[in-house]
Amino acid sequence: MKETVEGREARRYLSALAPALVVLAALFVYPLLGIVHRSVYKGGYTLDLYRQIFRVPVYLQVLLATFKVSALVTLVCLVLGYPLAYVLATRRPRTAQLLMIIVVLPFFTSIIVRTYAWMVLLGRNGIVNQYLMMLGLTSTPMALLYNQAGVIIGMSYVLLPYMVLTVYSVMRGIDPGLVRAAHSLGASRLQAFRRVFLPLSLPGIAGGTLLVFILSLGFFITPALMGGPGDVMIAMLIEREVEITLNWSFASALAVVLLALTLLGFAGYNRLLRLDRVFEGRG
């Protein structure tokens, strides 16, 4: 008797799932399948477009540039994000919560607003150049915008909170007693960090690195606004093929390549961490 009641209960909840699944199937899965189809079908099934992506040097260059920029951005985020996450995780929760506001406010600010802020700062007559010249550090304005440096600064800024939140969520779970135990056994601060804390925070480093890298690969707004003519990333190429060249099939093939890379990376991420945990830890 009890079994059937529970069985009915479980089914009732299953039907509560239906509306969201229907919406997602119609507005997400089906359109994505449409892209996959468009990328391989032109009067008949063919893989020509994919061959084109991997044979034509221009497209290969875009792919390589995308990987390069993503790797650099990930590195910057790790170098800046790890120490901040460490300091936040080792402070009292109340202090950490207050400081976390500074991480979370930009995190939830529109990407286009954050990108615009850096355009104002880094432009030829921008605020950074005004100060550099005022301080006599440079006599002519430095080129900080519309080149790769600008793209990397802007993207690192936008993605840094992801790194901080991921690493922080792992560090929060590390028992401080373990570090204290290392101290009491005679380990120095540095030793305790290197031998105990750092290894335990590795899932955070791996997860944060992977997350920032995946998100970088598909980035559009920041590189499109802050990059120069030579800083085309794959997402920008996709937009161009849709809006300017009007080659929707080729855009679809590029999108499928990007999607495959993203899902591959995410499968790895999923083995390390749970995405929802990271977002729950946000302020």
Partner 1 sequence: MTSADGQRNGPGAVAITALAGAVLVFLIAPVAIIVMVSLSGADYLSFPPPHLSLRWYQRFLGTPSWRQAIWVSTQVAGLTMLFATALGLLTSLALVRGRFRAKGAIYALLLSPMIVPTIITAIALYFFFVRLKATGSIVAMALGHTVLALPVVIIIMAATLQGFDIRLEHAALSLGASRLTALRRITLPLVLPGLLSAALFAFLTSFDELLIPLFLSGVEVQTLTVRIWNSLVLEVDPTIAAVSSFLIGVTTVVLGASALLRGRGDTTTT
**In the range 156-185, which residues lie near partner 1 by CB under 8 A?**
157, 160-161, 183
40-59 binders of partner 1 (CB under 8 A) = none
Residue among 38, 70, 179, 223 that touches partner 1 (CB under 8 A): 38
Give the C-alpha separation, 212 to 207, whole Å.
Answer: 9
189-248 binders of partner 1 (CB under 8 A) = 189-191, 214-215, 217-221, 225, 235, 238-239, 242, 248
Residue 250 contacts partner 1 per CB under 8 A: no
Residues 161, 227, 254: CA angle, nearest 5 degrees: 85
Residue among 40, 228, 266, 268 that touches partner 1 (CB under 8 A): 266
CB 187 within 8 A of CB 81: no
Q: Find the shortest distance in angstroms from Cβ 264 to partner 1.
A: 11
Give the C-alpha separation, 111 to 166, whole Å.
Answer: 19
The DSSP string of 76-101 is HHHHHHHHHHHHHHHS-HHHHHHHHH
Give the C-alpha separation, 38 to 45, whole Å.
Answer: 10
Cβ-in-10-Å burial (0-12, 13-18, 19+) of 40 comes to middle
Residue among 30, 181, 202, 271 that touches partner 1 (CB under 8 A): 30
Residue among 105, 137, 143, 264 that touches partner 1 (CB under 8 A): 105
* Residue with Cβ nearer partner 1 (9 or 48): 9
Q: Find the shortest distance in angstroms from Cβ 131 to partner 1.
A: 8
